[in-house]
Structure 1
């Protein structure tokens, strides 16, 4: 399994915005911006599913996901591939709901938290 380095964790916290790419059971792709990306631990990323009907539907049919975080000014990006789990109750869900509420953007409560177990990172931090 892939591990998030301190450098990558710091980068994600700095950049925040990402693109999540999924595909349905027939392989039809979908890409969607996410503004709530967070590092959960060394092997997991999470984001709130607020307005993500296509992403949610795809993950219910096919849990494979690709998350891209990039900074065009620094010309640095990371691609994370993995398997997603949809969570709609419990401690993690409640924690993310509080974060979203604290953003003071009048966003609705998340439908789910998407928890991604990272299986690959590009560029591979162990190869650098």
Structure 2
């Protein structure tokens, strides 16, 4: 199978509220809009808020968003009224993570990769 493009699809209970959250509160840039949906840039991926869902978020799915400066990002989000579900902490795997949720309860894991972590190692360096 050859993958040419991909995106995460969210079907929110209230599309206007969820679209406003990702656009206005998180400040994600819009890739494109169409009747019934909005696609946002999500780093190297895309997030599409489309249609209307019934069940809401499930506990086994989360969005993983890498940020440059986790404390500054959390301060900015708090100033915009976003509740921090779990404060930042260093995980056993070495990443600094904090959690927020979108209006439907989808967990958003905010991640900073600290200096010296293997994910920051340039594999091209001998």
What TM-score comes out, normalization by structure 1 length?
Answer: 0.28
The structure having more radius of gyration, on CA atoms, is 2
Flag the structure with higher helix content: 1
Higher strand share: 1
